[in-house]
Amino acid sequence: MLILECPYCGVVADETDLHGGGEAHLKRFGPGSSDEDFQTYLFHRANPKGVHFERWRHVSGCGKWFHAARNTMTLEVYGTYSAQTYEPPKAIINAVIKKHPEWEGYK
């Protein structure tokens, strides 16, 4: 039962107020894309043991989607941030590196 702070309304929300949406920062491939790109977009998802970037929606709250940087093993949350980004912000990356200097980084 996680708790995540919604960056839009500031509420520290219980997992039962939230809805998980899987891997964050996917790039959409539409008509004209190669079969390979489209297949990756549609089906391939990272499932790391450790640092992970995820989409969550504050479904019973303000209704906004946001992103969370989370450790899938320890459940530590490095931070939550806007869904309107193409990649994790610097502050989040730094928070992860501070805890895990050996972390291979966001690709």
Partner 1 sequence: MSTRLAKGGRLIDRTKPKNFTFNGKRMKGYEGDTLAAALLGEDQMLVGRSFKYHRPRGIVASGAEEPNALVNMGQGGRFEPNQRVTTTELFDGLTCTSQNHWPSLEFDVGVINNYAARFLPAGFYYKTFMAPAPAWKHVFEPIIRKSAGLGKVPTEADLDRYEHFYHHTDVLVVGGGVAGLAAALAAGRSGAKVLVMEQTHHWGGRAPVDGGEIDGLSPEDWINATLAELEGMDSVTLRTRMMGSGVYDHGYALGYERVADHTPGDDRPRHRLWRIRAQQIVTATGSIERPLSFAGNDIPGVMLAAAVRDYAVNWGVSVGDRTVVVTNNDDAYRTALVLKEAGLDVPVILDARDQATGPLAEAARAAGIRVEVGKAIAKVNGGKRVTGVSICSQSGEGSAVEDIACDAVAMSGGWSPVVHLWSHCGGKLIWDEAQSHFRPDPDRAPTGHDGQPFVVTAGAASGAMGLADVLSDAYEAGKQAAKAAGGKAVRKAGPKADPEATQPMAPVWIMPQGAGHQKRMKMWLDYQNDVKVSDVQLAAREGYESVEHTKRYTTLGMATDQGKLSNINGLAVLSDALGQPIPATGTTTFRPPYTPISFGAIAGEARHEIFQPIRRTPMHQWHEDAGAYMEPVGHWRRPYCYAKPGETNEQAVHREVLNTREKLGLLDASTLGKLIVKGPDAGKFLDMMYTNMMSNLAVGKCRYGLMCSENGFLSDDGVVARIDEDTWLCHTTSGGADRIYAWMEEWLQTEWWDWKVYVANITEQLAQVAVVGPNARKLLEKLGGMDVSKETLPFMQWKDGKIGDFDARVYRISFSGELSYEIAVPASQGRAFWDKLLEAGEEFGVMPYGTECLHIMRAEKGFIMIGDETDGTVIPQDLGLNWAISKKKEDFLGKRAQLRSHMTDPDRWKLVGLETLDGSVLPDGAYAVAEGNNEYGQRNMIGRVTSTYYSPTLKKGIAMGLVKHGPDRMGEVLDFPTVDGSSTVIKARICDPVFYDKDGEKQNV
Partner 2 sequence: MSNAVSALQGASFDGYCKVEEAGLVGMITLRGDLSSAGVAKAVKAATGAAMPGQGEITEGAKGRAGWMSPDELLLIVDHAKAADFVAAASKSLAKEHALVVNVSDARAVYRVTGDAVREVLAKLSPADTAAMVPGQIRRTRIAQIPAAFYLTDEKTAELICFRSVAQYAFDILKDAAMSGGEVGV
Distance CA 68, CA 76 (A): 10
- Contact positions vs partner 2 (CB under 8 A): 8-11, 13-14, 16-17, 59-64
Q: Which of 17, 52, 61, 83 binds partner 1 (CB under 8 A)?
A: 83
Query: Tokens 């939230």 belong to which residue?
Result: 18
User: Shortest distance, CB of residue 80 to partner 1, whole angstroms?
Assistant: 10
CB of 47 to partner 1, least distance (A): 19
| Those residues with Cβ within 8 angstroms of residue 33's Cβ, 6 or more apart along the chain or in another chain | 41
Q: Which of 10, 105 has the CB closer to partner 2? A: 10
Kindly list the strands in the beta sheet with 51-57, ordered across the sheet, starting from the edge strand earlier in the chain: 19-23, 51-57, 65-71, 77-82
Q: Please tell me the count of residues contacting partner 1 according to CB under 8 A.
A: 29
| Closer residue to partner 1 in complex, CB, 19/106 | 19
Q: Determine which residue in the list 47, 75, 101, 107 makes contact with partner 1, applying CB under 8 A.
A: 75
Strand stretches in 35-84, DSSP E: 51-57, 65-71, 77-82
14-53 positions binding partner 1, by CB under 8 A? 14, 21, 28-33, 35, 38, 42
* Largest Cα span, the chain: 42
